[in-house]
Amino acid sequence: MVGIAMKDLISIKDMGRRQIEGIFSLTDKLKRKTPRSLNGKIIAMIFEKPSTRTRISFEIATYDLGGHAIYLPKKDIQLGRGETLGDTAKVMSEYVDGIVARLFTHKEMLDLAKYAEVPVINGLDDLLHPCQALSDLYTIKKRFKNLKGVKIAFLGDGGSNVCHSLMYACSGLGVKMVIACPREYSPRPKILRDTRRYCRLVREPREAVEGADIVYTDAWISMGEERERKERIRKLKNYQVSSSLLKHVKKRRYFVMHCLPAHRGEEITPEVLEGRKSIIWEQAHNRLHVQKAILHLLLGKK
């Protein structure tokens, strides 16, 4: 598509408004009719971390577009025996047409993209989760028709990869975002600086949710943080999305979102997760369609 050419999708920071909106427009088109634009193409999926939505949605999206996905957990390839990501990237570029990666560190993601001669899509790293954030903003746009004037309140771990990518997405699209979190779980200072025009940090959850159109939360304990479980729950307990907190939204029309997996009774209560304000399952469903658009854009036959 004219104006939204990209080689990789590593960070939404690297994208302009036109590119993001182009993905949303393409998503709408592919929902109506899916071309076989990946016919004969092979996608390698390198996953150092377990996955439900990212893996399933990318595999199905690849299949629907006519391609074939190969799932490659770290233990099954030479990465598990010490081969560098650079060497892996060079070899894979000889075999496959694109790579979807779910890695432990952002540095690894950057190295993979640096050495790969085929498109690399960030399926999650410790800093960013761009495909999730793009799907989230697409879901919000479908609900409100227009993102102008929308306010997102994010509660909990402001230093999570999801929060960081949401901040970049909101900044790129001109959407207001308020993050409420304890001081030690604040977003990275650089990302706060990069997005300061549209993103604001507060400490009080009530302040964040007042007037919000979207109340968003994420798991408090991510992969690799299990040892900190008790401490994280203790420090984040006041940021739980509950019915009592939602009374402070003071708007009739608003929605609750969660990127999943959810831990009922921790970051969100069961009645809110399953309640009438929840669009969480719609949000998960849209991962498939937005990622189909990303694959078509980066790898589809022109």
Q: Is 287 a known active-site residue?
A: yes
Which of 55, 232, 287, 296 is the catalytic position?
287
Show the tokens assigned to 124: 């999650």
Measured CA to CA, the distance from residue 299 to residue 69 in angstroms comes to 13
Produce one character per residue of 22-39: b if its CB has 16 or more CB atoms within 10 Å, e if not.
bbbebbeebeeeeeebbe
Which of 131, 170, 199, 259 is the catalytic position?
259
Sheet hosting strand 98-102, strand order edge to edge: 68-73, 42-47, 98-102, 120-124
Measured CA to CA, the distance from residue 264 to residue 219 in angstroms comes to 10
Instruction: Report the run of H or E that residue 72 belongs to, with start and end.
Output: strand 68-73
Q: Is 253 a known active-site residue?
A: no
Instruction: Report the run of H or E that residue 177 belongs to, with start and end.
Output: strand 176-180
Q: Is 129 a known active-site residue?
A: yes
Is-contact 240 232, C-beta < 8 A?
no
Which of 102, 164, 232, 296 is the catalytic position?
102
Which of 64, 157, 213, 218 is the catalytic position?
218
Q: Is 18 a known active-site residue?
A: no
Which of 129, 232, 258, 296 is the catalytic position?
129
**Residue at 49: amino acid letter:** K
Q: Could you tell me which of 247, 244, 179 has the C-alpha nearest to residue 218? A: 179
Which of 19, 132, 240, 283 is the catalytic position?
132
Q: Is 276 a known active-site residue?
A: no
Distances (CA, A) of 208 to 110, 157, 174, 250, 274: 33, 14, 18, 12, 22
- Catalytic positions, written as ranges: 102, 129, 132, 218, 259, 287
